[in-house]
Structure 1
Amino acid sequence: MTTNRRTIIAGGAATLGLASIPAAARAVTAPSPDRFRNVLDSIADQALNLSPETATNLGVDVGPRAGLRAKLSDYSPAGNAAFASAAIAMQAQVNAIDRKTLSPVDQLRWDTIHYTLDRTQEAKPFFYANASQGFFGGTSPYVVSQQNGALSSTPEFLDSQHPINSASDAEAYLSRVAAFAKSLDVETAQIRDDAARGVMPPDFIAANVIGQIKGFRATKAANQKLVTSIATRTAAKNIPGNWSARAQNMVESLVYPAVDRQLAAFTAATRNAPHTAGVQRLPMGDDYYKWALRLGTTTETSAAEIHKLGLAQNAELKARMDVLLRKQGMTQGTVGERVQALNKDPRQLYSDDDAGRAQLIAFLNEKVAAVRPLMPKLSHLGLKAEVIVKRVPVDIQDGAALGYMNFASLDGKRPAIYYVNLKSTSLWPKYQLATLTAHEGIPGHTWQGAYLAEHHAEIPLISSLIGFNAFVEGWALYSEQLVDEAGLYADDPFSEIGFLQALQFRACRLVADTGLHAMHWTREQTVKFLMDETGKGEGAMTSETDRYCASPGQACGYKMGHNEILRLRGVAQTALGPKFDLASFNDTLVKTGGVPLALLPTAVDAYIKSAKSAGPNA
């Protein structure tokens, strides 16, 4: 899973308007190819002005964009209206370019940005869907949930992504702390307005959120990450100033009062929250889920079709797992029951303490290193793809995903960060860790993001902004298969079981997500299905189910993307025969920068045509 371009970071500050975009970026007087590149750059600038955190995430909040480093996004009604208005202007800019005059590569880019802006426009009927969700490719019907909102994202963003190399960086950090307090109040107002119109998270998510807010508030200001981060980093850089005292004062005088207001408003708004898990209970909920599925899968496949597909693929993968489990002497019970037993096997578990967590993270680093020698078989790109493995911060682990990754910055100053949730080491038995690392690390998210970073000079910036969940997660799931095919598990049968179990789990997600939001499944029914079928523990599957409730449609992107990539690989293999080169096919996918599944065949068709025309020794 990735967070960044496709996961909106809640914030709040004044948003820059189109007038702030340099005139050169808005110019459209050049010949067609250059004119189109100028349009793409203009759209990127507009999006960055509306999402300053993204500029920091990418490492492009410098030069003309340096002012963005002190700001957070504006998710107030006015900010949402500004994004919706900007999207209309962006669409007009794209439509002013004659697609037929562009090269095939730029035609695909034209189609891609058009697809993004269409999804952005489709968010309009849903007052609880901010326009930026359509642009960046993520759904969150509740302004605050266990995984969405300023409280769960901004402190970690400031700590791990906001750079502090000078006094001006530190001042910008403090400006963002002040903006954080404002964004909490923006959310609080939205919580009240949404609740008055029947939109609030279900009671079980509400209880989790209330616990998270109370936990944040119970921490002494001096111990808050907002304070310790700037104190530690300014000291390390020898930047003079009373940074710690100023940050602590802001937390006490601005942030904590805003947190108190949000806690009171959220508690009141969710006092009678329903237990219904799916979004069908929301205003226009069925239509919203159709939009969410389109956003999450970048296809027109219906919920019923996805549900049926998930059931079929789950059955197929269980049959493959059964064979491997039997070879290891595990013959009794269903596949799910045997996996449950494997999850409890002491040989597969690290001690649930700091020493065990350190050993687990060391093992993940070993797996990253083990994959690197395999990469020449899988890609000709020769990327450095640096990655740091970190534990999910304790203060957000209750609502965070079990594993996720932040792409590297484009300036090369911050590598990719691969996070693993270690609230309990039992969440991650050893046999599951190699495939997790292929997904989040190499050749998964880290590799795909590294191409954008290491080739950013030749790739339009917009490719690093917009996110297509099904492509990004489909590529990462396909990467899990690639390392298996490359022989990583040749002498490690339990990790091979872990690979198949991970595929099977993603098939079950197709069933669970559509079950919750289209088939009226309950939370309890979904948790039981996932536990019975995948063998994963109750805590992990409860967390997963709650994630699907808070981000409908997103969980379907993994297997849908994987399925389409495999289908297209088969098409290419059939068309090219001995001319098919796996590494070249993989590079074709990565070099798109990420596109909707609906457009991916265009890139593969171009690869096939090019490979056919190449000489026999090419």
Structure 2
Amino acid sequence: MIDRRRLLVSAVAGATLTGLFVPVMARAVTSDPAEAAKLNAIFDAMFKEVVATSPTAATYLGLDKGDNAAAKSKLDLPTAEYLAANEAMRRKYVAQLKAIDAGKLTGMDAVNLATVLYDSETSLIGYDRYRFGNQGSANPYLISQLGGAYRDIPDFLDTMHSIETEADAEAYLARLEQFATLLTLETGLVTADFGKGIVPPDFVIERTLTQMNASIAAAPAENGLVTSLVRRAGAKSIAGDWAGRATPIVADKIYPALKAQIALFESAKAGATHDAGCWRLPGAEGYYDFGIRSYTTTTLTGDEVHQLGLTQVAEISTRADAILKAEGMTEGTVGVRLGEMAKDPRFIYPNTDAGKQTLLDDLNAQVRAMQARLPDYFGILPKASVEIRRVPPAIEAGAPGGYYQGPSLDGSRPGAYYINLRDTAEWPKWTLPTLTYHEAIPGHHLQIAISTEAQGIPTIRKLIGFSAYSEGWALYSEQLADEMGVYDADAWGRLGYLQSLLFRAVRLVVDSGLHHKKWSREQAIRYMVDTLGDQESSVTTEVERYCVWPGQASSYKVGHTEWVRLREDAKAQLGAKFDLKGFHDVALSSGGMPLDVLKIVVGEWVAARKAA
């Protein structure tokens, strides 16, 4: 099944680049036209096959119209035949791409080949070694508090499935019917995984059940699956008994399918372990290494990740300590003092609808202020706008604090930055500017929208994301905001920036602690609370997130460290010839890629600047 999160937000990557990217001096000055044409023909075929076989991807990309309008009535259904075809498609294109002579390619052709082959070969590692979970990716549990149709499809139908015509509303009803089928198929896959011993920890099961039960708490007629259709059809004056037709589907098909999933997870509770890491899963030897390779696009070991985290935690804590002391806060550890600040009433929005709206208004003001600064630091800016949205209340209990959703390829849908407002106390005012710069601009929105709109990148690459590249850029953007001077008169805001960096450095320690050093959930929570001073409720959600995505939490700081290293190395080599706008433009307009490919792209830009 095509995983929208993997394809379009922070997809896996991780096989070694050895043999995939020919060094600059060994390549032709320009690509051989015939070899480049063969490569681009493969990319075109890959893209067309993905869109043809994944109706949800077609909708996400804004391509469920015209000749492909039939996709709008369908969902990706993980039948045995579908899963086998998806794997076969991967293997077919890996073989074709490996037959391309990389020595005859240069520039973006070489980058495109290395990047797509890297992603595809990494998927094959998953298929070859780990026949469970979200196969082909480093996600061991198909359904959890962070994934599964029960969680993803209602939001997909509400925010991605556009309703402009009667045909769109009819397609929505058809997708409701398929949603029930999808749930049943997923239940069968998870039942098989449970039979292999691939069972989430007991606390993940509890969190998942909380969200599943919330999805059936309302009467069918009041469920968002019905009200979304009724509301949007009404807004377009599309006549029809949409409530009367949608409600029986929800009541008689979707709710029973959801209740069957709930029953499956309830039955698994008694035998579930409390052990948090993927090290305990049968047949999962080396799974954390796979996660590290997948998400960080490096071959760092668990010990190396852990030590990197400890080193950076110490360095960032020292910087935060200096600001706290300068502001008169001298007693206790950095974490204790940050915790005191987080509870200070002057920094807390009221946990009311009005308070939450004020918080959203303030975020929008921060985006507007940053937008005005961007032309001084970037030569290329995206056309797509970004919207700030609240995480849907039905899933906020287990959802991350904030995340980004990219714009459609056709420009019909803007980017969106989601913030979790389950409790405004989790967002002291001094922490919010940095979150905005990370999730919106100059962070995820700038990077992903520029990549989406860039020329010279085959469309298939625009479906692939690399967490270390994108999350590393978002952290680099936080640093860049500080370098722009946004905190020159705001010591608390700068402290929020350092706390964010500290949070990601702590993730290195906790992620490797859980999956490599066999830490317990409670040990991980205590380390984060003590080091960061965060509320235990938000820390608990974070730790449980790391438990179901081995390696993903490490991608942020690993990527940030490499982005900064590449920039500083370019500065050192170029001196007066260094151009910050040029560095940003070449690295972003080349699209998402593994860190080793980014290193080569920046290296070639440096060489060109030297020659100029």
* Bin of the TM-score, shorter chain as denominator length: over 0.9
Provide the rounded CA distance (Å) in 2 between the counterparts of 1:541 and 1:494.
Answer: 21
Residue 197 of structure 2 is aligned to residue 194 of structure 1: no
- For 1:177-216, list aligned pairs within 5 A: 177-216=176-215
Partner Cα distance (2:68, 2:517) in 1: 46
> What SS does the aligned partner of 1:379 have?
coil
1:225-280 CA distances to partner (integer Å, 9 max, x unpaired)?
11111111111112222222211111011101101111111211232110000011
Of 504, 524, 528, the match for 1:526: 524
Moved more, 52-61 or 570-579: 52-61
Q: Distance in 1 between matches of 2:542 and 2:8?
A: 18
Q: Does 1:38 find its partner at 2:41?
A: yes
Structure 2: which amino acid aligns with 1:316?
E
CA distance, structure 2, for counterparts of residue 552 and residue 603 of structure 1: 28
**CA–CA distance in structure 2, aligned partners of residues 608 and 447 of structure 1:** 23
What letter is aligned with 2:574? L
Of 581, 595, 613, the match for 2:579: 581
Q: In 2, distance between residues paired with 1:71 and 1:8? A: 24
CA contact (8 A) 1:6 1:469 kept: no
Distance 1:500 1:562 in 2: 13
Give the C-alpha shift of residue 281 in structure 1. 0.8
Aligned match of 2:7 in 5, 15, 18? 5
1:493 to 491, 495, 509: 491
Check whether the contact 1:146–1:400 (CA below 8 A) recurs between aligned residues.
yes
What secondary structure sits across from 1:400 in the alignment?
coil
Supply the RMSD in Å over aligned alpha carbons.
1.7
2:482 corresponds to: 484
One-letter code aligned to 2:7: R
Q: Which amino acid aligns with 2:345?
A: P
Task: Determine helix, strand or coil for the equivalent of 1:309.
Answer: helix
Secondary structure of 2:506's counterpart equals helix
The amino acid that maps onto 1:517 is: H
Matched, 1:126 2:130: yes
Residue 218 of structure 1 is matched in structure 2 by 217
Q: Which moved more, 1:366-375 or 1:96-105?
A: 96-105
Shift of 1:422: 0.3
**In 2, Cα distance between the equivalents of 1:276 and 1:225?**
35
Q: The residue matched to 2:487 in structure 1 has which SS?
A: coil
1:7 CA displacement: 5.9
Q: CA deviation at 1:539?
A: 0.3
1:99 and 2:102 matched: yes
Q: How does 1:34-73 map to 2 (within 5 A)?
A: 34-73=37-76
1:255 aligns with 2:264: no
**For residues 15-414 of structure 1, what are the structure 2 equivalents within 5 Å?**
31-124=34-127, 125-133=129-137, 139-414=138-413
C-alpha distance in 2, partners of 1:120/1:252?
A: 38
Shifted more, 86-95 versus 330-339: the winner is: 86-95
SS in 2 for 1:520: coil
- Determine the C-alpha separation between the residues in 2 that align with 1:74 and 1:578: 56
Contact 2:97 2:117 in 1 (8 A): yes
Note if contact 1:404-1:419 (Cα within 8 Å) is conserved in structure 2: yes
Q: Give the letter aligned to residue 480 of structure 1.
A: E
| Alpha-carbon distance, 1:60 to partner | 2.2
| Structure-2 separation of matches of 1:264 and 1:97 | 50
**Contact 2:377–2:580 (CA under 8 A) maintained in structure 1:** yes
Write out per-residue CA displacement over residues 434-489 of structure 1, whole angstroms, 9 at most, x where no aligned residue.
Answer: 0000000001111012113333x653111211111111111111111111100111
Q: Deviations over 1:177-206 (max 9, x none)?
A: 111111111111122211111111111111
1:214 is displaced (CA, Å) by 1.6
Counterpart amino acid of residue 108 in structure 1: V
**2:384–2:411 Cα contact (<8 Å) kept:** no
Counterparts of 2:159 and 2:64 in 1: how far apart (Å)? Answer: 15
Greater shift in the superposed pair: 42-51 or 431-440:
42-51
Contact 2:502/2:532 (CA < 8 Å) preserved in 1?
Answer: yes
1:11-32 Cα shifts (integer Å, max 9, x gaps): xxxxxxxxxxxxxxxxxxx933
TM-score by length of 1: 0.92
Quote the Cα distance in structure 2 between the aligned partners of 1:293 and 1:174: 40
C-alpha contact 1:392 1:420 (8 A) present in aligned 2: yes
Following the alignment from structure 1 to structure 2, what is the Cα–Cα distance between the partners of residues 428 and 51?
37
Aligned counterpart, 1:13 = none
- Give TM-score, length-normalised by structure 2: 0.93
The question of whether the paired residues in 1 share the 8 Å contact of 2:457 and 2:590 is answered with no
CA distance in 2, matches of 1:211, 1:190: 21
* Equivalence map 1:427-446=2 (5 Å): 427-446=426-445
Give the distance between the partners of 1:450 and 1:191, measured in 2 at CA. Answer: 35
Q: Which amino acid aligns with 1:492?
A: D
User: Of the candidates 565, 569, 577, which is equivalent to residue 563 of structure 2?
Assistant: 565
Displacement after TM superposition at 1:130 (Å): 3.1
- SS for the counterpart of 1:277 is coil
CA distance in 1, matches of 2:377, 2:156: 33
Amino acid at match of 1:500: L
Contact 2:58 2:64 in 1 (8 A): yes
Question: Which whole-Å CA distance do the structure 1 matches of 2:217 and 2:315 have between them?
Answer: 49
Q: Check if 1:514 corresponds to 2:512.
A: yes
Residue in structure 2 matched with residue 475 of structure 1 by the alignment:
473
The answer as to whether partners of 2:125 and 2:136 remain within 8 angstroms in 1 is no
Aligned to 2:501: 503
Q: Distance in 2 between matches of 1:72 and 1:550?
A: 24
Q: Which residue in the other structure is 2:30 paired with?
A: none
CA distance in 2, matches of 1:292, 1:258: 31
Q: Alignment identity in percent?
A: 41
Q: Is the 8 A contact 2:388 2:418 kept in 1?
A: yes
Change beyond 3 A, Cα 1:4–1:234: farther
Q: Look up the equivalent residue of 1:5 and give its one-letter code.
A: L
* Contact 1:3/1:405 (8 A) holds in 2: no
Deviation, structure 1 residue 132: 4.7
Q: Is the 8 A contact 2:381 2:446 kept in 1?
A: no
Q: Cα offset for 1:157?
A: 0.9
| Partner residue, 2:28 | none
8 Å Cα contact 1:192-1:269 kept in structure 2: no
Change in Cα spacing, 1:8 to 1:85, as seen in structure 2 (3 Å) is: farther
Give the SS at the match of 2:285. helix
Kindly provide the CA deviation profile for residues 529-587 of structure 1, in whole angstroms up to 9, marking residues without a partner as x.
00111111100000000000111111111000000111111111111101101111111
Deviates more, 1:36-45 or 1:595-604: 36-45
* Amino acid in structure 1 at the alignment position of 2:531: E
CA offset digits 1:349-396 (Å, max 9, x no partner): 000111110010011101101111111222100323411111100001
Amino acid paired to 1:155? P
Report the secondary structure of 2:216's partner residue. Answer: helix
Aligned residue in 2 for 1:610: 608
Cα distance change on mapping 1:150 and 1:232 into 2, 3 Å: same
Structure 1 window deviating more from structure 2 (68-77 vs 431-440): it is: 68-77
- Which sits farther off after the overlay, 437-446 or 378-387? 378-387
- Kindly indicate whether the alpha-carbon contact (under 8 Å) linking 1:572 and 1:608 is maintained by their aligned counterparts in 2: yes
Q: Is the 8 A contact 1:412 1:453 kept in 2?
A: no
C-alpha separation in 2, matches of 1:65 and 1:376: 38
Q: Deviations over 1:471-521 (max 9, x none)?
A: 111111111111110011111110100000000110000000010001000
> Is the Cα–Cα contact under 8 Å of residues 54 and 76 in structure 2 kept in the other structure?
yes
User: Which residue type is aligned with residue 523 of structure 2?
Assistant: Q
Q: For 1:474 and 1:8, how far apart are their aligned partners in 2?
A: 11
Q: Matches of 2:183 and 2:347 in 1, distance apart?
A: 42
